[in-house]
Amino acid sequence: MIHVTDDSTYAEAFAAAVAAYADRPFIAVPTGAHRAYHQNGFALTFAEAAKEVAALQTFYAAAGFGHGHRVAVLLDNRPEHFLHKLALNSLGVCIVPINPDYRPAELAYLLEHSEPDLAIVAPDRRAQLDAGVAVSNWAPPIALYDDLSALPRPTKPALTTPVTGKTPSSILYTSGTTGRPKGCVLSQGYELDAGVWYGTRGKLAALRASGERIYSPLPAYHVNSSVMVFACAIVGGHCQIQIDRFHPERWWREVRETEATVVHYLGVIAPLLLGQPEGPHDRDHQVRFGIGAGVEPTLHAAFEQRFGFPLVEVWGMTECVRVLVDNELDRPSGTRCFGKSVPGLEVRLVDDKEVDVPVGTPGELLVRHSAETPRRSFFSEYLNNEEATKEAWRNGWFHTGDMVRQAADGSLFFVDRKKNIIRRSGENIAAAEIEAVLQAHPLVKQVAILAAPDAVREEEVFACIILEEGVEPASAAETLFNHSLEQMAYYKAPGWFYFTDSIPTTGTQKIQKHQIFPNGEPPFDQSIDMRSRKKRNAQKESA
CATH code of the domain containing 414: 2.30.38.10
User: Is the pLDDT higher at 130 or at 436?
Assistant: 130
Q: What is the CATH number of the domain that holds 155?
A: 3.40.50.12780
pLDDT band, very low/low/confident/very high, at 333 (cuts 50, 70, 90):
confident
The phi, psi pair for 233, rounded to 5°, reads -60, -40
432 close to 463: Cβ distance less than 8 angstroms: no
Same-domain status, 436 and 403 = no
pLDDT at 30: 98
Distance CA 110, CA 182 (A): 9
Q: Are residues 70 and 156 in the same domain?
A: yes
Regarding whether 365 and 295 lie in a shared domain, the answer is: no
> Can you tell me the distance from the alpha carbon of 416 to that of 176, in angstroms, rounded to the nearest whole number?
17
User: First vs last Cα of the chain: how many Å apart?
Assistant: 59
**What is the domain extent for residue 438?**
425-542
Tell me the chain's radius of gyration from C-alpha atoms.
Answer: 24
Q: Where are the alpha helices (DSSP H) in 328-392?
A: 386-392
Residues 265 and 279 in one domain: yes
**Burial 476-511, CB ≥16 within 10 A → b, else e:** bbeebbbbbbebbebbbbbbbbbbeeebebbebbbb
Q: Is residue 4 part of a domain?
A: no
Name the pLDDT band for 489 (thresholds 50, 70, 90).
confident
For residue 541, pLDDT over 70 is answered with: no
Write out the H or E segment, with its range, that includes residue 19.
Answer: helix 10-21
Residue 206 included in any domain: yes
Q: Is residue 2 part of a domain?
A: no
Q: Kindly state the average pLDDT of the residues 83-111.
A: 93
- 543 pLDDT band (50/70/90 cuts)? very low
Q: What are the C-alpha distances in Å from 100 to residues 51, 75, 96, 188, 241?
A: 28, 8, 12, 24, 19
| pLDDT (average), residues 230-244 | 98
User: Is 290:265 a contact under the CB 8 Å cutoff?
Assistant: yes
List pLDDT tens digits, range 419-457: 777 878 767 687 887 898 899 999 999 999 998 888 778
Say if residue 177 is in the same domain as residue 65. Answer: yes
138 and 180, same domain (yes or no) = yes
Whole-number mean pLDDT of the chain? 92
How much is the average pLDDT of 236-261?
A: 96
Q: Does residue 270 contact residue 295 with C-beta atoms inside 8 Å?
A: yes
**Domain check: are 492 and 386 in the same one?**
no
pLDDT band at 505 (very low <50, low <70, confident <90, very high): confident
As a whole number, mean pLDDT of residues 408-422 equals 86
The answer to whether residue 301 sits within a structural domain is: yes
Question: What tens digit of pLDDT does each residue of 32-55 get?
Answer: 999 999 999 999 999 999 999 999
pTM for the full predicted model: 0.83
What mean pLDDT is predicted for residues 170-174? Answer: 92
Residue 3 in domain: no
pLDDT of residue 537: 66
Contact call for residues 152 and 142 (beta carbons, < 8 A): no
Confidence (pLDDT) at 101: 81
pLDDT score, position 178: 45
> What's residue 511's pLDDT?
77
Residues 248 and 377 in one domain: no
- Spatial distance between the Cα atoms of 285 and 256, rounded to a whole number of angstroms: 5
pLDDT at residue 25 is higher than 70: yes
pLDDT of residue 536: 66
Mutual orientation of helices 10-21 and 80-90 as an angle, nearest 10°?
A: 120
Closest CA to 228 of 200, 182, 206, 196: 196
Name the band, by pLDDT with cuts 50, 70 and 90, for residue 102. Answer: confident
Q: Which of 504, 103, 34, 95 is nearest to 244 (CA)?
A: 34
| DSSP character string of 145-191 | TT--TTPPPPSSPPP-SPP-TTSEEEEEE---TTSSPPEEEEEHHHH
Which tens digits make up the pLDDT trace of 337-386? 999 999 999 999 999 899 999 999 999 999 999 999 999 999 999 999 99
Same domain, 350 and 472: no
In a domain, 1, yes or no: no
User: What CA–CA distance (Å, rounded) separates 368 from 94?
Assistant: 25
| Burial class of residue 69 in the structure, from the number of CB atoms within 10 Å of its CB (0-12 exposed, 13-18 middle, 19+ buried) | buried
The enclosing H or E element of 485 equals helix 473-487
- The Cα angle at residue 506 between residues 500 and 510, in degrees rounded to 5: 75
Q: Which of 235-239, 377-381, 457-461, 468-472 has the lowest mean pLDDT?
A: 457-461
Query: Residues 332, 380: one domain?
Result: no
333 with 344, same domain: the answer is no
Q: pLDDT band for 19, please (50, 70, 90 cuts).
A: very high
With a cut of 80, say whether residue 147 has pLDDT above it: yes
| DSSP symbols for 413-425 | EEEEEGGGEEEET
Position 542 scores a pLDDT of 40
Residues 6+ apart with CB under 8 A from 355: none
Domain end, chosen from 274, 305, 339, is at 339
Boundary-marking domain end, from 366, 401, 419 = 419
| Nearest Cα to Cα of residue 127 among 148, 150, 100 | 100
Are residues 215 and 295 located together in one domain of the fold? yes
Residue 463: give its domain's CATH number: 3.30.300.30
Q: Residue 488 — very low, low, confident or very high, per pLDDT cuts 50/70/90?
A: confident
In a domain, 102, yes or no: yes
Examine residue 5 and state whether it is found in any structural domain, yes or no. Answer: no
| Residue 175 pLDDT class (50, 70, 90 cuts) | low
Pairing of strands 239-242, 25-29: parallel
Structure confidence at residue 177 as a pLDDT band (50, 70, 90): very low
Please write down the long-range contacts of 268-277, taking CB distance under 8 Å and 24 or more positions apart: 268/294, 268/509, 269/217, 269/295, 270/295, 270/296, 270/299, 270/300, 270/303, 270/311, 271/296, 271/299, 271/439, 272/248, 273/248, 273/303, 273/307, 274/299, 274/302, 274/303, 274/306, 275/248, 276/248, 276/249
- Which amino acid is present at 429? I
420 compared with 140, residue with greater pLDDT = 140
Closest to 172 measured CA to CA, from 97, 85, 114, 94: 97
Categorize the per-residue pLDDT at 250 as very low, low, confident or very high, splitting at 50, 70 and 90.
very high
Q: Which of 339, 369, 392 is the last residue of a domain?
A: 339
Taking 90 as the threshold, does the pLDDT of residue 508 lie above it? no
pLDDT tens digit string along 181-215?
789 999 999 999 999 999 999 999 999 999 999 99
What's the number of domains the chain is made of? 3
Among positive and negative, which fits the CA dihedral 503, 506, 508, 510?
A: negative
